[in-house]
Copies of this chain bind each other. A is one copy, B any other.
Amino acid sequence: MSDPVEPITAERAFARGFADRLPLLVNQVGYQMAGRAEPRLAELGLNGKTYMALAVLVADRPGSQLELARLMGSVAAVIVTVADNLEAEGYVERTRDPADRRRSLLTVTPAGRRALAKADRIAAEVEDDMLGHLDGSERARLHATLRGALERGPRAVP
């Protein structure tokens, strides 16, 4: 104790109780990442949910709010608020589908695309923060592993 070259106290940096329990590890890493990203996303008028929605809108082009909900693993009522927030920031425009006037078409505006690009930069920096110890190939492997996990089985979680 009181070692001059090790100013960090003896307190563990993280709980060993997480070490061999992958679900706890994944949740903790996700929680850490969210906690680091959210304050910076807030400066863009975004949060985790609206950032995710922008990403899915651009990449997957859902044809209705309900399809967006499904892609996000969420439900219709939640997407209403998400779309409201994005619309209020000027990041999406909401128009009724002329072919089926029950559906709302969400189109990302140029400002929305700029916000998404900035949010992606934040996400990349958070990734660097937490995975700076990995080289490129290790990071690519982690990406592939997690994508594979999502591709397996249906999403049963609302």
Contact = CB atoms under 8 A, between A and B. Distances in A.
Interface of A: 11-37, 48, 51-52, 55-60, 70-73, 120, 123, 126-127, 129-134, 138-139, 141-143, 145-158
Contact of A134 (B37, B133, B138, B145): B145
Given A17-B71, A56-B15, A25 B134 contact: no
Contacts of A142: 22, 142, 145
Complex copy number for this chain: 2
Contacts of A25: 143, 146-147, 150
A23 B54 CA distance: 14
A133 to B, nearest CB: 5
14 contacts: A13-B151, A17-B56, A20-B143, A21-B120, A22-B127, A23-B123, A26-B26, A26-B30, A29-B149, A32-B155, A35-B157, A129-B152, A130-B149, A138-B141
Nearest 5 A-B pairs (CB), nearest first? A35-B157, A17-B56, A17-B55, A17-B59, A15-B71
Contacts of A11: 70
B23 A127 contact: yes
The listed residue with most B CB atoms (<10 A of its CB), out of A23, A129, A131, is: A23
Given A60-B17, A157-B35, A24 B152 contact: no
B32 A150 contact: yes
B71 A12 contact: yes
